[in-house]
Amino acid sequence: MTSSAWTAADLPDLSGRTVVVTGGSSGIGAETARALAGAGARVVLAVRDMARGERVAATMRGKTEVRRLDLEDLASVRAFAAGWTGDLDILINNAGIMLVPEGRTVDGFERQVGTNHLGHFALTNLLVPHITDRIVTISSNAHSRGRIDVDDLNWRSRAYDASQAYSDSKLANLLFTLELQRRLLVAGSRIRAIAVHPGMARTNLFGHATGARAALIGVLGRFLLQDPEHGALTTLVAATRDLPGGSYVAPGGFGHRGAPEIAAPSSAARDGAFARRLWDASVRLTGVDQPGGPSS
């Protein structure tokens, strides 16, 4: 799909386009925002820490704006969506947390599923009436290890496993993307929903790892992990190339590196019946359903 030499310098002219990047103040999100703004887009960094977002935005060339969004608080998600006016060409659901200790969001969700999936589920559906082009959601190769218990998304009746909760949230990202695409097609919408795996990149996602896992990440990171700039390439391809809705874009090389290409998600991610069950559970938990209003 792309040559190994493809970089952000190959982005098309994005003048007149508006993009929201959640988690745009660090890591892959910041590099994604930087590249899109540099190509002419108006980029809104949707972040929890406004001061940090402003500092990062000040280092970017082009049109940027910082707005507050806390995906661990549905009131914040609703406020962000309610404050949006006009068209939104591209929504990039980038923000995420990984391997965090057991904890709860403001609304009582397990933090990883709450941030990575439920917060973005609500945000996307609330913003759909404004979106004109596409929705890009960051998943991970870790989705292949997901074993979602749709009746216990928030780990109320199981012993908590941070690694499994993360993998489950990334599987949820893919199931959501493919079910969203199905629903958009049924509705006759031209919006495309696309998922990506950024590859293994050196970001603060690994900041909560401890013990042997942290030591292993430290060693592997020096040799195998990409920098955030290269980690952003799959997102940039998914956001700007003419790809079919429902695509899953991932690095095509060894060790989750290399040029972005369309990949095949796991069979679990392609389970349409289960995706609909997860959608219904997500509606019950968030109170939000397509096309952007509260569920009835």
Catalytic residues: 166
First to last CA, the chain: 42
For the chain, what is the radius of gyration of the CA atoms? 18
Q: Give the separation between CA 7 and CA 13, rounded to whole angstroms.
A: 14
* DSSP letter for each residue of 66-118: EEE--TT-HHHHHHHHHT--S-EEEEEE-----SPPS-B-TTS-BHHHIIIII
For residue 48, which of 103, 117, 119 has the smallest C-alpha distance?
119
Phi and psi angles of residue 66, each rounded to the nearest 5 degrees, phi first: -120, 130
Report residue 31 as tokens.
Answer: 């590099």
Strands 63-68 and 260-262: unpaired
Q: Give the separation between CA 81 and CA 104, rounded to whole angstroms.
A: 23
**Starting at the edge strand that comes first in sequence, how are the strands of the sheet with 42-47 ordered?**
63-68, 42-47, 18-22, 88-93, 131-138, 192-196, 248-251, 260-262
| Residue 59 CB contacts under 8 Å (≥ 6 apart), including other chains | 34
Q: How many CB atoms lie within 10 A of CB 168?
A: 26
Question: Do 201 and 230 meet the contact criterion of CB atoms below 8 Å apart?
Answer: yes
